[in-house]
Amino acid sequence: MMELGNVLILIPPGKEPQQAIRAAIDLAKQRAGRLVALVVLDQELAARVSTRFSESGFMSEHVEHQVSETIMREYRTQAEALLRTIAEHATKEGVAVTPILEEGDTEDVCGRVIRSHQIGTAVLVAEKRTWLTRLLSRSGAVNLPALAGCEVRVMEED
């Protein structure tokens, strides 16, 4: 089987994983492939965060919906800025880049992007989980069936 040179970096919302971005750009450059930078915004994540605050008594249910929308808007703004930065860095190094920002189920989006962009290697960013991230989110893991057919490299970042 021919090795596919295209590299996917899957970045969790709200993160700027500098080491993983550097590694993904270098890998795409080595393989003369395209870098696909992907951020998937999960509506359920924002809803879970705001529900936890509501359940903890930090805010009323009335405020919960507004908080969820605000969190999603902030994630979207941060992701757009990060994807622009990645595109600038990759382009300066002669690496073609496709930035993608989507809402939906991470596993579904990831599987579709891997197939449609002929990804050979996926760089996944694993967060060092603090007690707060464990409180606010369920497992951020992407199930491996979505990654079938490509090499997976996991990089842990703060």
pLDDT of residue 140: 46
* Mean pLDDT for the stretch of residues 52-74: 72
Share of the chain above pLDDT 70, in %: 72
For the chain, the average pLDDT equals 82
* Mean pLDDT for the stretch of residues 98-114: 92
pLDDT of residue 106: 86
Share of the chain above pLDDT 90, in %: 46
For residue 147, being part of any structural domain is answered with yes
Q: Which amino acid is at 38?
A: L
Please report which confidence band the pLDDT of residue 2 belongs to, taking 50, 70 and 90 as the band edges: very low
Distance CA 67, CA 39 (A): 21
More confident residue, 22 or 138: 22
Domain count, the chain: 1
CA dihedral 68, 17, 103, 142 (to 10 degrees): -100
59 pLDDT higher than 90: no
Q: How far is CA 38 from CA 2, 9, 59, 63, 119, in A?
A: 24, 6, 32, 30, 12
Range of the domain at 128: 6-157
Beta-strand ranges (E) seen in the chain are 6-11, 35-41, 97-103, 119-127, 151-157
For residue 1, being part of any structural domain is answered with no
* Mean pLDDT for the stretch of residues 48-66: 66
Q: Which CATH number do you get for residue 86?
A: 3.40.50.620
